Every structure is written in C-alpha cells, then in structure tokens.
Structure 1
Amino acid sequence: MNPRAASVAIMMVGSTPCQEDFQGVVRVQDIRATEKDLVQMINSFRPGDIIRAEVISLGDQRSYYLATTKNEHGVIFAQSAAGNTMVPISWEEMQDPNTKDIEKRKCAKTF
C-alpha cells in the first residue's frame, strides 16, 4: 500500500472462491466517485482489510484494476489496532466495539 494505490489479493469473484491467486490494484482515483482529490489511501483501506470491489480494467500483466466507487463497495471486514473486529458506523468510519476507538475507512454499504 502506498499513497496512490493499494495492492490486493482477489479471493472471490461474485460468490465463487478463486482457485488460484489473482492480484488487483485499487488506485486512489478509483476509491470514491466524488471528491476524488480529497481521497487519502490511509483513510480508505488498511493492510488486512477485506473489501468488496469491481473489476474496471484488465490492468497490466500482473494485476487487475479494481474500483470501490459504488456505495456497496468498500471495506466489509476490518480489525482495529487492538485486533478486534470493527463495525461500520458511517460510510467513512468504523469503530472497535470494545475500545470504542474509531478509524477511517471507505465502508461498503451493507445489504
């Protein structure tokens, strides 16, 4: 992960688990549909997060380009710095229910 892009492992396509590893990249300009110039990678994703995204391009020979611009795309699972499972409290924040610490994320709208 760097300020311009996050590398991800693609684990599922739709509801089908992947049999082999596929690599993807979420670029900072593909995180949100609006206010793209205000998006910061560290406030959207962290290492270890599980996200829902869509493939927008085949990318290069190493990875697919992914986007989380739709409301239903973003972080669906995250652990806090304390190691606890976090819950979304807004579209851009998650909270550790034990410590009450709040961390920034681009949260996926739950169904």
Structure 2
Amino acid sequence: MAGDEERDDTITTPGEVVGHFSSLIPGRGTYLCHKNHRDIYASLTGHCKITPPSPTSTDKRSTIEIVGHKSHGAIPETGSIVIARVTKVMSKMASADIMCVGAKSVKEKFSGTIRQQDVRATEIDKVDMYASFHPGDIVRALVLSLGDSRAYFLSTAKNELGVVSAQSTSGSGDTMVPISWTEMQCPTTGQVEQRKVAKVV
C-alpha cells in the first residue's frame, strides 16, 4: 500500500500487511509488527485511509488507518485494561478472548496471550501456568503490546490484575471466592484451587 491516495476501496482484513514503517505511520486500526518493526498490519476489517503529514510536522510520513469498518465497539490498545476469558492454558502461556476494554465491550474478536513472564512481578521463573489460570476463568489484564498473529500480549503482573471470576472444577460449578493472592475456594464444597487472583479494587 503506497502512494498519496486518500482512500483505497479494497477491503482490508485483519492480519493483512498494509504498509511499511519506513514510509507510513500506523494509525487507528493498524499495528506495527513487533518482530521486525517494519511491516504495518491491519487489525480491523475496512478500507485503508492515508492522511498526509501536516505542513508543520517534522515527520514527513503519511498516516495510514483503517476506516469504514463495521465494528464500533472498543478496540484494545497498549496500556488498556481489559477483561478476557481464558480459552486455553499451556506450560508457557495462556490464551484468552478479550471481551471488554475498560467498561466497553468489544464487537470483534480480539485474542490475547498471557506469557509465563507476564503472570506476576516476582519469582517469574517459578510461575506455574496451570496453577495460575484455568479455561473459562475471567481475568483482568493490562495490554502490553500486539504480539504474534494478532494476539495481544497481556499482563497480570500487578496486584489488581489476574483472575476476577472462576468456576469451581469440583463438580458444583459454583463461582469461587478468593481467599488469598494465590487461592480461590468453592463455597459449596470448600475445595481450594490455585489461581493468580486479582486484588479487589
């Protein structure tokens, strides 16, 4: 995607390369590949709009953004606090679907990844992902960056971040109650399960 056109009517889809950082500044609905810091990708479905720099700007690159997309819901950005549902837990990371950005729900699917080093701030090498999250858990997390394959890197390292709601695996299916930073308890069976619990704020 290059040139001085105001708008390209070709439909762009999430994950598609729409430009290069050497000639364009990533705007709304786009993100910069964190690996090579060169390719700019679309994070929404829509049309590319390129806006020339202002005459007073020292940066002479145009800005590219995605417009005309159907979603008017919230969009995760670096530094956002999000609510996400854990979908899969592995030894080094957990996957989650982002449901809300702040108090606003999302209308498109945004995936998140919580890496082992981003679960908590201390004793990172001792983090057990299976003792921190279970599929179905609802977590409050901080968006660190846009990672691989359009999955946002999420962090639960602060005290107020982590699991905010979890169902007991004991068979009762009840919502558990936090009893410490690392444990939640089923109110029916009394069974205690490990989690990376979010401090109530």
Q: Same fold (TM over 0.5)?
A: yes
Aligned residues: 111
| Residue 189 of structure 2 is aligned to residue 89 of structure 1 | no
Q: Return the alpha-carbon distance in structure 2 between the equivalents of residues 41 and 61 of structure 1.
A: 21
Q: Per the alignment, in what secondary structure is the counterpart of residue 98 of structure 1?
A: coil
TM-score normalised by L of structure 2: 0.54
Matches within 5 A, 1:59-98: 59-81=147-169, 82=171, 83-98=173-188
1:42-76: CA deviation from partner (whole Å, max 9, x where unpaired): 01000000000000011123200000000000000
Paired with 1:84 and 1:105, the residues of 2 have a C-alpha distance of 15
Match of 2:197?
A: 107
**Partner AA of 1:97 in structure 2:** P
Q: 2: distance between equivalents of 1:18 and 1:105?
A: 26
| 2:136 corresponds to 1:48 | yes
Question: Which of 99, 102, 109 is the aligned partner of 1:11?
Answer: 99
Distance in 1 (CA, whole Å) between partners of 2:112 and 2:125 is 22
Aligned residue identity for 1:99:
T
* Alignment partner of 1:39 is 2:127: yes
TM-score, structure 1 as length reference = 0.97
Structure 1 runs (4+) greater than 6 angstroms displaced:
none
Tell me the secondary structure at the aligned position of residue 37 of structure 1.
Answer: helix
Q: Which has the higher contact order (CA 8 A, sep 6+)?
A: 1
| 5+ residue gaps, structure 2 | 1-88
| SS state at 2:190 partner | coil
**How far 1:20 moved relative to its partner?**
1.1
Name the Cα RMSD after superposition: 0.7
Q: Distance in 2 between matches of 1:30 and 1:109?
A: 16
Percent identical pairs in the alignment equals: 56
The alpha carbon displacement at 1:32 in A equals 0.5
Name the aligned partner's letter for residue 100 of structure 2. M
